[in-house]
């Protein structure tokens, strides 16, 4: 009993990982960092999915990584939402980075409500990117964020502690950021082998 | 104006029966106190066994043993009438409950949307049958005539006053809605149909009968206008089904819960709203009622979807005791937004527009929770930004390197000799508004490798204060 399965269909479902880097998808959501784009499948952030940024401490380079994307989205008049950021986004610096503040929205929420708010924003489909800083979140919570991002076709970014690197996560992309030297390590990227060596930022 | 009268012929019985899953069992409704309980209504199966309304329950029990008994509850009848009014409200903005066991709908203004009348009537009948209520429907130019004609007709549509007069003339006096005493007097006079009364001289009628008789005749013919109250839909949905036995399994709860959710759907459709959270209460004999709040991610009104969610929640529940009654209550009813379907657009439009999303976030997190950022032309970091409902600001022309994250309050840097990368940048401003700042700002690298924005008082004394992170 052998059903004939088209190879193309199998590859499209991404159930078979194909060696080599010939994923031909258009770079729809480039990160703005050429080196990083080169190693990510699809040439940028995974679309309609959750990406995790793992940091030793808040302030270890997450803005440097995200600013090009946020600037590109806000300039294209797409809404970016920060749900309960750990510090105040300093408006002059965000302007210097090219972010159009008219399309940036801050949501203040307690830790418990923040997850709900992030999920609602992702699911609504009216926000291009949603950033959140979940502290205590379990696998189920992450899965909900991932599903919400898929439903709303938004970019979800969750900044978490580097301690979570060993725990499995349903996020499509996991990046670890090192404060010094400023570099990014790809821990997991759906659809391709994670790049082995760290990439310098900026 | 055109009025449709929906006469609910078995309102009490249908109301009870729809909460039970044994539709074929004989059922009687009884009222009165224990020694003399009278049967008020019987269903077809009970009638076949020889039970009749008006019998005492004792007499019925000597005739037959195997039939179900339920209470004839005026309150329940009123509840169902209101429930059906909520349903009818989707078809007409003027629904009246002034006649007992009947709904009056002004339909002329709805015909453009649901008409023509035969199709409209078909829709009403389909809905009512689906909800499980037997009915008779008549359309007439005035509500009094519509109500009186349902006594003898079903499916009649009277379009003009000439036809109305004809139908009214043929109406038997007993079924015309006149009071019992006048009916008795008129029949003793040998009059059988309203037409015979209408041919009598008015002044003699006025002398022999109470004024109400003439007024009623005038109302039937549309000469005297009828003012009807208008039903106002309730702001919340509450419904309860009581069992006359103890239910101790989830499976047996599913049928009545599905009924409740179908009712909720009909109610929501009438009000054009949806539900995001509702509460199911299971009542027990001794134990505290079990409360099962059910929240959905997005507002819904499809009964099947609500049922799936409810069932999955119910299956996780441990029943502390058998259940006697189940109650559903939905008080938070957001407006219904149907999912838009586009023919051409490739990327689906947002499921929820931003304005709605913002409202929802504000409703839960507080009015101040959602805001934008505004950059202000001021050198002092504390004054260089503020919150506002909408974000704004142009990039500052000349400003040194600024950190992306700012601490709400500067705090002492937890390090003795930081590695200075840039600085000092002196910020000395605000002597005119009382918030005087005189600081030297540096960019330093902390031990863990992060880049920090720190300051020291201009005299070089005092601690290093952390004010931001170059993230």
Asked if residue A3 belongs to a domain, the reply is no
pLDDT of residue B346: 54
Distance, in Å, from the CA atom of B241 to the CA atom of B282, rounded to the nearest integer, reads: 10
Distance, in Å, from the CA atom of B127 to the CA atom of A126, rounded to the nearest integer, reads: 36
Range of the domain at A37: 27-200
Distance, in Å, from the CA atom of A36 to the CA atom of A32, rounded to the nearest integer, reads: 8
Q: Name A75's Cβ contacts closer than 8 Å, sequence gap at least 6.
A: A98, A100
Residue of chain A nearest B390, judged by CA positions: A102
Distance, in Å, from the CA atom of B25 to the CA atom of B21, rounded to the nearest integer, reads: 9
Please report, for residues A59, A66, A89, B444, the alpha-carbon distance to residue B448 in angstroms, rounded to integers and kept in the order given: 11, 21, 22, 11
Looking at per-residue pLDDT, the higher value among A54 and A180 belongs to: A54
Coil, helix or strand at residue B104: strand
Q: Can you state the percent helix, strand and coil of chain A, rounding each to 5? A: 35, 20, 45
pLDDT of residue A21: 47
Q: Name B391's Cβ contacts closer than 8 Å, sequence gap at least 6.
A: A101, A102, A103, A104, A105, B372, B373, B374
pLDDT of residue B342: 59
pLDDT of residue A23: 47
Does residue A132 carry a pLDDT above 90? Answer: yes
pTM score, two decimals?
Answer: 0.54
CA distance B355 to chain A (A): 9
Q: Name B417's Cβ contacts closer than 8 Å, sequence gap at least 6.
A: none
> Does residue B138 contact residue B152 with C-beta atoms inside 8 Å?
no
Helix axes B143-150, B161-169, angle to 10 degrees: 40
CATH of the domain at A32: 3.40.50.300
Per-residue confidence at A117, pLDDT binned at 50, 70, 90? very high
Q: What is the largest CA-CA distance in chain A?
A: 66
Residue of chain B nearest A121, judged by CA positions: B357
pLDDT of residue A70: 95
What per-residue string of b and e applies to A44-78 under the rule 16 or more CB within 10 Å gives b?
A: bbbebbbbbbbbbebbbbbbbbbbbbbbbbbeeeb
Asked if residue A195 belongs to a domain, the reply is yes
Contacts of B385 in chain A (CB under 8 A): 88, 90-92
Distance, in Å, from the CA atom of B133 to the CA atom of B19, rounded to the nearest integer, reads: 12
The CA-CA-CA angle for residues B7, B10, B12, to 5°, reads 115
Asked if residue A112 belongs to a domain, the reply is yes
Distance separating the N- and C-terminal Cα atoms of chain A: 55
Contacts of B384 in chain A (CB under 8 A): 90-92
Mean pLDDT along residues A157-174: 91
Distance, in Å, from the CA atom of B410 to the CA atom of B435, rounded to the nearest integer, reads: 15
Residue of chain A nearest B381, judged by CA positions: A90
Asked if residue A40 belongs to a domain, the reply is yes
How many structural domains does chain A have?
Answer: 1
Asked if residue A6 belongs to a domain, the reply is no
- Cβ distance of A96 and B395 shorter than 8 Å: yes
Helix axes B211-221, B143-150, angle to 10 degrees: 100
> Does residue A158 contact residue A134 with C-beta atoms inside 8 Å?
yes
Q: What is the ipTM of this complex?
A: 0.86
Query: Average pLDDT by consecutive 10-residue portion of chain B (471 residues)?
Result: 90 83 82 84 87 86 85 86 89 89 90 88 91 90 91 89 90 89 90 89 88 90 87 86 83 87 87 87 89 80 82 81 90 78 58 79 82 88 88 75 91 81 86 84 89 88 89 85
- Cβ distance of B297 and A121 shorter than 8 Å: no
Asked if residue A11 belongs to a domain, the reply is no
Asked if residue A177 belongs to a domain, the reply is yes
Q: Could you give the count of Cα atoms lying within 13 Å of B245 in the half-sphere of its Cβ?
A: 10
pLDDT of residue A156: 95
Helix axes A139-152, A111-124, angle to 10 degrees: 30
């Amino acid at each position: 009993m052998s059903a004939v399965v088209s190879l193309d269909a199998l590859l499209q479902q991404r159930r078979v990982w194909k060696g080599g880097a010939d994923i031909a998808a258009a770079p729809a959501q480039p990160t703005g960092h050429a080196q990083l784009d080169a190693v990510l499948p699809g040439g940028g952030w995974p679309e309609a999915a959750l990406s995790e940024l793992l940091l030793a401490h808040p302030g270890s380079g997450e803005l440097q990584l995200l600013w090009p994307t946020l600037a590109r989205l806000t300039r294209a008049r797409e809404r970016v939402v920060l749900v309960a950021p750990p510090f105040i986004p300093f408006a002059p610096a965000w302007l210097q980075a090219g972010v159009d503040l008219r399309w940036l929205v801050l949501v203040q929420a307690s830790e418990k409500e923040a997850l709900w708010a992030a999920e609602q924003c992702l699911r609504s489909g009216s926000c291009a990117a949603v950033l959140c800083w979940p502290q205590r979140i379990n696998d189920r919570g992450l899965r909900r964020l991932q599903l919400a991002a898929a439903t709303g076709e938004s970019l979800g970014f969750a900044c978490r502690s580097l301690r979570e690197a060993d725990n499995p996560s349903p996020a499509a992309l996991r990046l670890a950021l090192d404060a010094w030297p400023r570099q990014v390590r790809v821990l997991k990227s759906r659809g391709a082998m994670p790049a082995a060596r760290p990439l310098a930022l900026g | 104006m055109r009025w449709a009268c929906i006469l609910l012929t078995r309102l009490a019985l249908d109301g009870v029966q729809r909460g039970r899953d044994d539709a074929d069992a004989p059922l009687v409704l009884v009222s009165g106190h224990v020694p003399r309980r009278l049967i008020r209504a019987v269903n077809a199966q009970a009638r076949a066994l020889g039970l009749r309304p008006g019998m005492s329950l004792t007499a019925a029990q000597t005739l037959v043993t195997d039939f179900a008994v339920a209470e004839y509850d005026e309150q329940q009848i009123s509840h169902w009438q209101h429930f059906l009014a909520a349903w009818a409200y989707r078809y007409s903005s003027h629904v009246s409950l002034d006649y007992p066991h009947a709904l009056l709908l002004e339909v002329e203004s709805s015909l453009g949307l649901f008409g023509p009348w035969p199709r409209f009537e078909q829709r009403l009948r389909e809905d009512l049958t689906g909800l499980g209520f037997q009915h008779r429907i008549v359309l007439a130019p005035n509500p009094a005539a519509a109500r009186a004609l349902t006594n003898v007709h079903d499916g009649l549509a009277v379009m003009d006053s000439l036809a109305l007069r004809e139908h009214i003339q043929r109406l038997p006096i007993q079924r015309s809605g006149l009071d019992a005493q006048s009916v008795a007097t008129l029949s003793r006079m040998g009059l059988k149909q309203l037409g015979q009364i209408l041919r009598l001289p008015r002044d003699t009628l006025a002398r022999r009968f109470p004024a109400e008789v003439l007024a009623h005749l005038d109302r039937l013919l549309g000469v005297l206008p009828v003012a009807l109250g208008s039903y106002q839909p309730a702001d919340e949905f509450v419904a309860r089904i009581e069992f006359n036995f103890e239910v101790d399994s989830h499976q047996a709860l599913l049928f009545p819960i599905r009924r409740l959710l179908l009712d909720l759907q009909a109610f929501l459709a009438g009000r054009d709203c949806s539900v995001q959270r509702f509460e199911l209460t299971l009542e027990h004999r001794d134990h505290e009622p079990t409360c099962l709040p059910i929240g959905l991610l997005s507002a819904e009104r499809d009964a099947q979807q609500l049922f799936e969610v409810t069932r999955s929640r119910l299956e996780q529940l441990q029943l502390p005791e058998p259940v006697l009654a189940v109650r559903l209550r939905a008080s938070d009813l957001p407006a219904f937004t149907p999912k838009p379907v586009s023919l051409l657009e490739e990327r689906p439009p947002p499921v929820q527009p931003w304005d709605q999303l913002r409202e929802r976030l504000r409703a839960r997190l507080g009015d101040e929770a959602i805001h934008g950022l505004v950059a202000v032309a001021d050198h002092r970091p504390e004054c260089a930004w503020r919150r506002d409902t909408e974000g704004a600001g142009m990039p500052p022309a000349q400003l040194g390197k600024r950190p992306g994250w700012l601490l709400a309050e500067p705090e002492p840097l937890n390090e003795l000799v930081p590695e200075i990368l840039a600085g000092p940048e002196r910020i000395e401003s605000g002597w005119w508004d009382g918030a005087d700042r005189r600081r030297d700002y540096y960019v330093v690298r902390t031990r863990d490798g992060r880049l920090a924005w720190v300051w020291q008082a201009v005299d070089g004394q005092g601690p290093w204060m952390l004010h931001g992170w170059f993230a």
